[in-house]
Structure formats: structure tokens, C-alpha cells
Amino acid sequence: MNAISLYAKPSDDFDAKLAESVALLRRAAGEFAPITQASSLGAEDMVVTDLLHRFHIQSGIFVLETGKLHDETLQLLARLQSHYGREVEVYKPDAAAAGRFVAENGEEAMYKSLELRKACCHIRKMEPLDRALAGKRGWITGLRREQSGARAEVELIEQQPERAKINPLARWTWGDVWHYISVHAVPYNPLHDRFYPSIGCAPCTRAVTLGEDFRSGRWWWEQESAKECGLHVAADGTHEAEEPAAFEPLSSAASSPVSPLPNRAIPIRAIPN
């Protein structure tokens, strides 16, 4: 059993959603050029990359290689470039800044406080993102409204101060995503087969259990309201949480998130037909 067999259940209006997404991408490529896709190499972003390729839509693609990604994610990056026959821009954190942060706070600083976790995200994601988006008038993401409460009102186009943010899969369901992957044989991260619906840096990602939210495996020691790295926070910061309410530091070796998870099947909630 794999992610496709579990989740590939399209919604009744899937064809309409697909047409809407393609039309939006074509419009965005013309209206907001130069434009680029920010790819996490998750299932949604692989669908977006395939749409860009399949419908000959002109857009760059970049990945933030944080230095903390799973081996499976790095291997998928190589597969993506081979499968689509194109280069993907890779942005890494400033080595000196990352080195200083680890020297001062340790490799597991993200578990110590919300402030340190966000500082780690800033070094490994936010600063490289600024470089990746420099000079761009638009960027494309794989955000979906279904992913979390914080993303429930994601718009197809969000006008930000410096550029437009395009979310072509905003109305797609998880079942829609996997239906598309199945039909078009889109490469995907094998961690999805091991019940990782949302995949980020290895220290901050775990598999999910029955009934949990799609993003519950990300920063799971924090309250739901805090679970963003900053890449997709609203301009007014409305879904950012204040410490300490959003944070519970891990205090015992038994609960340490660096302990490996067993490779067992832990299904997330059922996908409706």
C-alpha cells in the first residue's frame, strides 16, 4: 500500500479545478513575469512543477536546501531534474551564519524555544528565500486551504508589497493532489508512503497518526497556531503565536524528536470520496 492507493480520490469537480489552475498559471506567467515556483518538493509542489512542464508555462523553479532536509528529499530533487530535463535553482543558507547559530545554540536549538526555532528557520529558509525572490514579480506555491486552519483562507492570487503570490492549488483536496500524481506518474517523495503528508527539515518533521491534521507532523511540540516557518505568514502576522503559549520544550530523552520513528503504517484521517 502506498500514498497513491490510499489517497488518490478526486473530488467531483476535479476537472474544473484543474482547468482553473492551468488558466491561473498561464495568466500569472504573463502578468507577473519574471515569476518562479518555490518548491518544497512536497506532493503539492511536484504537481505544480508538472503543470508548468505539461502546459509549457514559463517559470523558474527553486528549492531551499536548508542543510537539514531528509535524504529522500534530496534524492527527489535529482529525480525531478532528470524527469523534466531542466535545472532547478538551489538556495542554501549562509554557511557562516548557520555555523554560528549551531555553535552558540547547538544542533537541537529548535526544540529549546520558539524564538530559537524561528531563528533557525530565518537562517535556513527566510534569508535564502529573499535571495531566491530578488527581482521576481511573482512566485508560485503549493498552498492549499485544506492544509491547516492557518491556510483556510488562502487566495488564488495574493498581492504582496513587492510581488504577487500565486496559489494555483488553493481549492484542491488531498485526494485531488494524489489523483493527479497517479494519472500523470508524477515523481514524489517516498516519505509520503510512510505517512508524512507534510515534509520539511528532518529534525522538525515526523509521521502523523490517525485523525491528525495534515501539518501536525511539523513542529509537533508547538501549538497549532505557531506552526509556520515564516514563508507563508500573512502580512499582518495574524496566525503567529506568542511564546510561551505556543511552545512546550521537550524535557526528556524519551520524548526527544531526534529519536527515529518506527517504519510502521500510521494512516492519517480518511479522505472523503
For residue 114, which of 241, 238, 253, 258 has the smallest C-alpha distance?
A: 241
Q: Which three cell numbers stand for residue 183?
A: 494519472
Average pLDDT over residues 61-69: 98
User: What per-residue confidence (pLDDT) applies to 213?
Assistant: 76
pLDDT reported for residue 168: 98
* List of domains in the chain: 3-190 (3.40.50.620)
Q: Given a cut of 70, is residue 228 above it in pLDDT?
A: no
pLDDT class for 257, splitting at 50, 70, 90?
very low
C-alpha cell at 181: 500524481
Of 31-35, 52-56, 261-265, the one with minimum mean pLDDT is 261-265
pLDDT at 15: 98
For 91-126, write each residue's pLDDT tens digit.
999 999 999 999 999 999 999 999 999 999 999 999
For 171, 191, 215, 222, 253, the CA distances from 7, given in Å and listed in that order, are 16, 14, 16, 27, 34
User: In a 10 Å sphere around its CB, with 0-12 CB exposed, 13-18 middle and 19+ buried, how is residue 231 labelled?
Assistant: middle
CA distance 207 to 144: 20
Total length of the chain: 273
Residue 237 has pLDDT above 80, yes or no: no
pTM: 0.82
User: For the sheet containing 157-159, what is the strand order?
Assistant: 89-91, 60-64, 35-39, 138-140, 164-166, 157-159
CA-to-CA distance for 82 and 90, rounded, in angstroms?
Answer: 15
State what percent of residues in the chain have pLDDT above 70: 80
- CA 98 – CA 77 distance, rounded (Å): 22
Measured N-to-C along each axis, helices 43-54 and 14-31 cross at an angle, to the nearest 10 degrees, of 70
Amino acid (one-letter) located at 172:
W
Rounded average pLDDT over 229-235? 46
Active site residues: 229
Task: Kindly report which listed range (71-75, 139-143, 193-197, 250-254) carries the lowest average pLDDT score.
Answer: 250-254
Residues sharing a CB contact under 8 Å with residue 75, sequence separation 6 or more, in sequence order: none
Number of Cβ within a 10 Å radius of residue 68: 19
Does pLDDT of 259 surpass 80?
A: no
Structure confidence at residue 216 (pLDDT): 83
Q: What is the mean pLDDT of the chain?
A: 85
